[in-house]
Amino acid sequence: MLNPTLVSPIGKAIETAALRAFEDRLLGDIILPSDHRYESARRLWSRMPDPRRPGAIVRCAAPVDVVRAIDFARNNELEVAVRAGGHSFAADSLCDGGMLIDLSPMRGIRVDSVKRVARAKAGLMAGEFDQATQALGLATVLGECTGVGVSGYTLGGGLGRLMGQYGAACDNLLCVELVDAEGEVFHASADENEDLFWAIRGGGGNFGIATILEYQLYPVHHVLSGTLTYPISDARAVLTFLNDYMISAPDELDVIIDIGNQGLMMSAPAVMEPIVNLTVSYCGDLARGEAALKPLRSFRKPAVDRIRARTYLQAQAFADIRPLVEFGSTGGFMALETGFIERLSENVTAIIEAFSADAPPCFWIAAEHYLHGAICRPAPNHTAFALRQPGYTSRIFSAWRDSNQGDVSIKWVKDLSAALEPFGNDKLYLNYLTEGLGERGVRTAYATNYERLAMLKSKYDPTNFFHSNRNIHPRATGREGSEH
């Protein structure tokens, strides 16, 4: 039985009969706080505690459910949050009170191997997408964390091991079906609603809820991939080598740098002592890959070399988030800051080395997916995704169980982030923004595209109905020029 626990920000309680009538029209269902499924349904992917409690979680089974959920929320003046994979670092996929529109039941995909196009529903996970396309020897640019939702990842830009060859994930979008704040369904592509298509490729969830996304696919079979592991004492030597080596890296090469310990690093989940771990991937001719990787594998002997020819699916499976989830679900706490590092210069290397030596018991520094090649060739205003320069996205992380360790761990994360900030050339990756970065972080991530995005926000969402996101504020009221 549904209870009238859903209340609008102005204090309007939604009648039980209205909720029943709404649920009767859904192909999916509604989960309320009284439902035994509620706590599980509202949890973040990390299983970390969060005080926000949606008044209702609407599990959409099809795009028509999204339309009906938006109409119901708008007519009853409810706050709205949207979830697909739920991996937002800023926990955008939660709201306190209001309605959480959950797309996770919408998990289908259709692959056309002749046209090399995949049509994915918005709740699909990256691992499910890869499984479907790899069955036909195809892939597109996706991240290596299998549980990330493809829609949020793509609309925020999308970095991955294939980006040097094929650009960001959003560069490989062909068409998007989207429901706007008025419950209208639009298609955006290079030939239809072109301004909206420009905006959603990097503009996140500001313009509506994507329900179906079409991607360009590419032949991808075996890759040369694996990890190189070094003792923490080799950190300076490894970073110094990479600073020069990656400048001339071929488009086919992707490298992720992890420095840390305590078994929570996604690419080295069983390692407890501090290490330097490189996750390497060469997606191209294997013989050329061996030649390209020879300097990296030989400049200093690693403690472990796991690089070998693998299937693309095996390479994508290196990132294991299970230790993080288990840690968060068993009372652990985490602190995280993100940023950008343009070069692994002598100063940057010295800062990382010094902070690693004085780190809390559990720490993790990541410099990920060196941006180069195809992702950097378009101008920053080619799409709303503006991060088009060489460099690394960074994550600084600490974790603890002992409450006495919390202040020290948080301070270490914030101090290291502040020390590295001057070396980021005022760049940030939208998908990695944390809540603490606020509007300043949003404007930095969108860069010079922000003003154009704000005008398009005025056109497609003038009331800022979709604001539980890395939000762009509308520049004007009304929907002038909004013929679609």
Same domain as 210, residue 338 = no
Supply the pLDDT for residue 16: 79
pTM: 0.93
CATH value at residue 77: 3.30.43.10
CA 79, chain centre distance (Å): 23
Are the C-beta atoms of 81 and 104 separated by less than 8 Å? no
Tokens of 315: 């390479």
Are the C-beta atoms of 231 and 276 separated by less than 8 Å? yes
* 19 phi, psi to nearest 5 deg: -65, -40
CB atoms within 10 A of CB 235: 21
Give domain status of residue 479, yes or no: no
How confident is the model over 301-357, as pLDDT tens digits?
Answer: 999 999 999 999 999 988 777 788 788 878 889 999 999 999 999 999 999 999 999
Same domain as 414, residue 280 = yes
Supply the pLDDT for residue 460: 96
447 pLDDT exceeds 60? yes
Give domain status of residue 468, yes or no: no
Same domain as 399, residue 379 = yes
Supply the pLDDT for residue 4: 46
Per DSSP, the three-state class of 123 is: coil
Give domain status of residue 315, yes or no: yes
Residue type, 427: K
CATH value at residue 159: 3.30.465.10
**Which three-class secondary structure string do you get for 351-397?**
HHHHHHHCCCCCEEEEEEEEECHHHHCCCCCCCCCCCCCCEEEEEEE
Are the C-beta atoms of 230 and 302 separated by less than 8 Å? yes
Which regions of 190-305 does DSSP assign to beta strands (E)? 209-216, 218-219, 222-231, 253-260, 275-282, 304-305
Residue type, 371: L
Supply the pLDDT for residue 145: 85
List the end-to-end C-alpha distance of the chain, in Å, as a whole number: 41
Give domain status of residue 483, yes or no: no
Are the C-beta atoms of 143 and 159 separated by less than 8 Å? yes
How confident is the model over 69-81, as pLDDT tens digits?
Answer: 999 999 999 999 9
Q: Is 97 left (phi over 0), alpha (psi -120 to 50) or beta?
A: left
Same domain as 208, residue 62 = no
Give domain status of residue 6, yes or no: no
Give domain status of residue 190, yes or no: yes
8 pLDDT exceeds 80? no
**Tally of domains within the chain:** 3
Distance CA 365, CA 368 (A): 10
Distance CA 413, CA 210 (A): 34
Distance CA 463, CA 484 (A): 18
Q: Cα-Cα-Cα-Cα dihedral of 416, 348, 377, 187, to 10°?
A: -10
Q: Are strands 275-282 and 253-260 parallel, antiparallel or unpaired?
A: antiparallel
Nearest of 376, 132, 137, 363 to residue 264 by alpha carbon: 363
The domain boundary, picked from 72, 102, 132, lies at 102
Same domain as 300, residue 158 = no
Average pLDDT, the chain: 92
Same domain as 401, residue 340 = yes
In this structure, is the dihedral angle defined by the CA atoms of residues 471, 476, 477 and 481, taken in order, positive or negative?
negative
Same domain as 164, residue 64 = no
271 pLDDT exceeds 80? no
Same domain as 416, residue 343 = yes
CATH value at residue 300: 3.40.462.20
Lowest mean pLDDT among 36-50, 56-70, 271-285, 288-302: 36-50
> Quick one: what percent of the chain has pLDDT higher than 70?
95
Same domain as 320, residue 240 = yes
Which domain, by its residues, includes 158?
A: 109-219+449-460
Give domain status of residue 11, yes or no: no
Supply the pLDDT for residue 417: 97
384 pLDDT exceeds 90? yes
The domain boundary, picked from 102, 136, 155, lies at 102
Same domain as 205, residue 69 = no
Give domain status of residue 128, yes or no: yes
Same domain as 52, residue 118 = no
Same domain as 114, residue 98 = no
The domain boundary, picked from 81, 102, 123, lies at 102
